Copies of this chain bind each other. A is one copy, B any other.
Amino acid sequence: MPDRGERIIESDDLRKVGLKVTHPRMRILDILSNAPKKHMTAEDVYRELLEQGDDIGLATVYRVLNQFETAGIVVRHHFEGGQSVYELDHGGHHDHMVCVETGKVIEFHNDQIERLQREIAEAHGFELKDHSLVLYVRPKRSKA
């Protein structure tokens, strides 16, 4: 099976963006790559590190995540509820759907919506630089 853009990020990717290959950075990359949840808060990552026996400070987690964001290795999202959530940036842009009951995050992409957004911005004399779309959903009731 051809890998669908799920390329694993490794040491070279860090060097490439001018970041030294340190233990904390590699561990955080590993967590982000292998964790069951693709979208994690800084605290999530921190707790996971502790559980795996790594003694890395929360401040470092924040610093590293910021550097990764700047380097384009992770994307930061601001869903409702204060904390930022981070996810590895595998390239393909997508939007999110958050289940308000389970908290589960589903990714999706819709070309038509993307195009409409661009058109709307244009129509108002603007150029679309970026956007944020989050659908808050709940499981379709069987009959309730």
Query: A59 an interface residue at 8 Å Cβ cutoff?
Result: no
- A135 contacts B131, CB within 8 Å? yes
Interface membership of A139, Cβ < 8 A? yes
Q: Determine if B121 and A97 form an interchain contact, defined as CB atoms under 8 angstroms apart.
A: yes
**A131 is contacted by which of B108, B129, B134 (Cβ under 8 Å)?**
B134
Q: Mark A117-143, 1 if CB is under 8 A from B, else 0.
A: 100111011111111111111111100
User: Chain A residues in contact with chain B, CB under 8 A?
Assistant: 78, 80, 97, 99-100, 106, 108, 110, 112-113, 116-117, 120-122, 124-141
A-B contact pairs, 27 of them (CB 8 A): A80-B132, A97-B120, A97-B126, A100-B130, A106-B124, A108-B120, A110-B120, A112-B112, A113-B113, A117-B133, A120-B135, A121-B137, A122-B140, A125-B139, A126-B138, A126-B139, A127-B137, A127-B139, A127-B140, A128-B135, A128-B136, A129-B138, A130-B135, A131-B134, A131-B135, A131-B136, A132-B133
